[in-house]
A and B are shown apart, each in its own frame.
Chain A
Amino acid sequence: MVHPKAMKSDITYKDINEDILNVITKTGSGYYIVLACTSVLTVLLYFLPWAYQIHVGQGVTGLNVPDLWGVYLVNFVFWVGIAHAGTLISAMLYITNTPWRRAIARSAETLTFFGLILASMYVFIHMGRPWKFYWTIPYPNQRMIWLNFQSPLMFDVFAISTYFVSSSVFLYFGMIPDLASLRHRVTGWRRRLYTFLSLGWRGTDRQWYVQGRACMYFASFIIPLVVSVHSIVAWDFALSIVPGYHKTIFAPYFVTGALFSGFAGVTLMMSVVRWFFPVIRKYITELHYDRIGIFLLVLSLVWSYLTVMEVITGLYTNTSQEMESLKYKLLTSPYSYLFALMIFSNSIVPLLFIFRKIRKTVNIMVVMSVFILIGMWLERYLIIPNALSRKFLPYMWHDYSPSWVEISITAGTFFFLISMFMVFLKVFPIISLFEVKEDSIPMKGGGGH
């Protein structure tokens, strides 16, 4: 099968260097204004409310006795989900050697990196005593206190830290040749940074071989890891006996949902980069949108099937608790209309991806991925606090609604992401130079890997 070429083939090496380097070195005033705005908003909406919450206590949230897992955990699962697609796209396409991977791989991996940072931040925001977070790490201590390895939260600590380490190493390994070629073109602290980070890369055959092998090993390691990490996140819920949580379907359901929201996140991320830096449009083309649209269509169908199955699993248990939980989720809860919105944005809107024309229209793709992201956030919201609102004893039934602190921190996350991403954009190349170069002229003899 002949892969259609992802980019226009008249781009030269020089153009690539210029284009991508200019993103790093040429900074207009607009950039600083946007960065200043997002940083200020991050502090105001994210860090100050969090500081207030730590100072006063978790009571400033809307959490309450049956509803002890609220919006913070929803956001945690959401961002872990977003983090899942990035590295998976990159690793999967790396192994299959798909040419259109090259322009989007770096931005997808970056999304994983930041998604995991944001997700782990939510663990700390969620904790009652975040200053004791190190107690969840197995370190030798004189009092011989060990951790509870039966606890699914313990699995989480290991799964997410493993995933974070391996995906950032994968991101870094893929960046070494770029950092090496950048170090000669910049001055000052950047030069020292790139020289240090490029680990003495000289571009010998041996080095290309080792780098390619390393990326290949990590790619093959990460693909199963992605599945296991989000399954473990699902077990946080499935291993309890709470009606609405206690379902064996949760692991595949969560993994599918994670990939679904993650692919939508990558689409959005690519579009933001294209919008900010028009020159990137040469490298991230409609072909990429077309391919991701196919992925999104398939994932939407699988997700819809699993959603139906999740409801049916609940019906099938036929206990009064499970039925009450389902009734609450679908009908009686003050948020039951959100279920319809979720189905609309996750099952009905993505059906438009059937049409190639829509897949190739960037603006429509952006709108649709925003819909999917909202729908996937709602999915987690409808599972996590909603199920807890109707536990076993009717006396304790309680409706949950987030407080302003929770809403503000949730909104602040997006500005936090944008700020971090904008800084990243100016320090590291958002498009893989060497891989795009491989793409711009026909490869001879297989190349480095």
Chain B
Amino acid sequence: MPGIIDRLSKRLKAYRTPGYYKKYDYHWTMVVDLDKCNGCAACVVACHAENNLPTVGKDECGKSRAFNWIRIERYVEGEYPDVKVKFIPIMCQHCDKARCELGCPVYATYHNQDGLNVQVYNRCVGTYTCATYCPYDVRRFNWFTYKWDEPLDQQLNPDVSVREMGVMEKCTFCIQRIRVAKDKAKDEEREIKDGDVQPACVQSCPTGAMVFGDLNDPNSSVSKLAKSRRTYRLLEKYNTEPSVIYLKRVMDGSSKGHEERHHV
């Protein structure tokens, strides 16, 4: 009996140890350089097109039920002549210690071996717990059975499911693209190379503010960027260990950017 308990506790401890996922092949990570972000929202549109997100219309948007997996948060600072507007794109942070995974009673959201925080739409019963526990408010709920306006219903992505009413959903880091890249790499009997896979938002970013890759690979561009002195993670002190790394915006003449406020 003590042997079993020892074995179990060792195993549980291993799951909880940071770096557990390193023994798997990939640790998908995104780096967002806020110095390059100009708030154009191309990523938002690309995400809508890639992931079959519904367009909810004026009324629902007015109730602030806009349906985005990635949003550009705008913060305006200062009085009129001296105004500063700052942008920060926020999507699911794919936390290694995700609060949402703790809350879901049915394992509709769980951590996969690539360090991704995965949502199983078919398993979701709609208790809202994941979104309530999420400190970043990135989860979106299907309030109704959404319909697509005329030409848009012809462009649904066949690789992504259309979600039914009553389930929660969120950014997946375009897991369908990761799957394809993995399959291809497996056929060619190699690992995924840096740059093989890009989520829609990264692909569409005109300034190249977003970079996606594998943090386990020391030569990948995200690994190099992650060594920057400007890095921080959103709400870091809550110990959620997000997989999205932000590079702080360098402001002229002021060291108190809003990014810094967040991460304090």
A interface, CB within 8 angstroms of B: 56-59, 63-66, 68-69, 126-129, 132-133, 135-136, 145-148, 150-154, 157, 236, 239-242, 388, 391-396, 398
Candidate in A65, A152, A394 with the most chain B CB atoms within 10 angstroms: A65
* Among candidates A65, A126, A148, A395, residue contacting B131 with C-beta atoms closer than 8 Å: A65
Give bound CA distance, A236 to B129, whole Å. 9
- Looking at chain B's contact residues, the main secondary structure is loop
Closest to A388 in B: B132
* Among candidates B64, B165, B235, residue contacting A64 with C-beta atoms closer than 8 Å: B64
Does B7 reach chain A (CB closer than 8 Å)?
no
B137 pairs with A396, CB closer than 8 A: yes
What's the minimum C-beta distance from B263 to chain A, rounded to whole angstroms?
11
Give bound CA distance, A136 to B235, whole Å. 31
Give bound CA distance, A145 to B105, whole Å. 12
B105 pairs with A128, CB closer than 8 A: no
The 10 sampled A-B contact pairs (Cβ below 8 Å) are: A64-B65, A148-B102, A151-B104, A153-B104, A153-B105, A236-B129, A388-B132, A393-B137, A393-B262, A394-B75
Do A240 and B127 form a contact, CB below 8 Å, given A57-B142, A65-B141? no
Candidate in B71, B75, B106 with the most chain A CB atoms within 10 angstroms: B106
| B165 partner residues in chain A, CB cutoff 8 A | 57-58, 128-129
| B141 partner residues in chain A, CB cutoff 8 A | 58, 63, 65, 68, 128
B125 pairs with A151, CB closer than 8 A: no
Closest to B165 in A: A57
Instruction: Pick the 5 closest A-B CB pairs, nearest first.
Output: A128-B126, A59-B143, A128-B166, A68-B128, A395-B73
Number of A-B contacts (CB under 8 A): 129
Give bound CA distance, A59 to B65, whole Å. 9
What's the minimum C-beta distance from B247 to chain A, rounded to whole angstroms?
18
What's the minimum C-beta distance from B106 to chain A, rounded to whole angstroms?
5
0/1 string, B222-242, CB within 8 A of A gives 1: 000000000000010010000
B interface, CB within 8 angstroms of A: 60, 63-65, 71, 73-75, 90, 99, 101-107, 123-129, 131-133, 135-137, 139-145, 165-168, 235, 238, 262
| B144 partner residues in chain A, CB cutoff 8 A | 56-57, 59
| B90 partner residues in chain A, CB cutoff 8 A | 393, 395
Do A157 and B105 form a contact, CB below 8 Å, given A58-B141, A58-B166, A393-B73? yes
Give bound CA distance, A127 to B143, whole Å. 11
Give bound CA distance, A154 to B105, whole Å. 5
Closest to B237 in A: A319
What's the minimum C-beta distance from A318 to chain B, rounded to whole angstroms?
13
What's the minimum C-beta distance from B236 to chain A, rounded to whole angstroms?
12
A391 pairs with B135, CB closer than 8 A: yes
Give bound CA distance, A129 to B120, whole Å. 14
What's the minimum C-beta distance from B13 to chain A, rounded to whole angstroms?
15
Do A66 and B133 form a contact, CB below 8 Å, given A129-B126, A153-B105? no
Closest to B145 in A: A57
Give bound CA distance, A396 to B139, whole Å. 12
| B167 partner residues in chain A, CB cutoff 8 A | 128-129
What's the minimum C-beta distance from B196 to chain A, rounded to whole angstroms?
32
Candidate in B64, B132, B141, B143 with the most chain A CB atoms within 10 angstroms: B132
20 more A-B residue pairs beyond the given contacts A135-B125, A239-B102, A241-B133, with a C-beta to C-beta distance below 8 A: A56-B144, A58-B143, A58-B165, A59-B144, A64-B65, A65-B139, A65-B141, A69-B132, A128-B124, A128-B126, A128-B167, A129-B166, A135-B106, A136-B105, A151-B105, A240-B132, A241-B238, A393-B73, A393-B262, A395-B75
B65 pairs with A65, CB closer than 8 A: yes
A398 pairs with B106, CB closer than 8 A: no
| B131 partner residues in chain A, CB cutoff 8 A | 65, 68
Give bound CA distance, A233 to B167, whole Å. 23
Closest to B133 in A: A240
* Among candidates A63, A133, A150, A388, residue contacting B125 with C-beta atoms closer than 8 Å: A133
B135 pairs with A58, CB closer than 8 A: no
A128 pairs with B168, CB closer than 8 A: yes
B63 pairs with A64, CB closer than 8 A: yes
Give bound CA distance, A68 to B144, whole Å. 15
Give bound CA distance, A393 to B102, whole Å. 21
B103 pairs with A240, CB closer than 8 A: yes
A151 pairs with B102, CB closer than 8 A: yes
Closest to A245 in B: B132
What's the minimum C-beta distance from A214 to chain B, rounded to whole angstroms?
33
| B135 partner residues in chain A, CB cutoff 8 A | 241-242, 391-393
A146 pairs with B127, CB closer than 8 A: no
A242 pairs with B133, CB closer than 8 A: yes
Closest to B120 in A: A145
| A150 partner residues in chain B, CB cutoff 8 A | 102
Give bound CA distance, A127 to B126, whole Å. 5
Give bound CA distance, A417 to B140, whole Å. 34
| B262 partner residues in chain A, CB cutoff 8 A | 393
Closest to A384 in B: B132
| A154 partner residues in chain B, CB cutoff 8 A | 105
A128 pairs with B145, CB closer than 8 A: no
What's the minimum C-beta distance from A75 to chain B, rounded to whole angstroms?
15
Closest to B126 in A: A128
What's the minimum C-beta distance from B85 to chain A, rounded to whole angstroms?
13
| A59 partner residues in chain B, CB cutoff 8 A | 60, 65, 143-144
A153 pairs with B107, CB closer than 8 A: no
| A242 partner residues in chain B, CB cutoff 8 A | 132-133, 135
| B143 partner residues in chain A, CB cutoff 8 A | 57-59, 63
Give bound CA distance, A136 to B63, whole Å. 31
Closest to B60 in A: A59
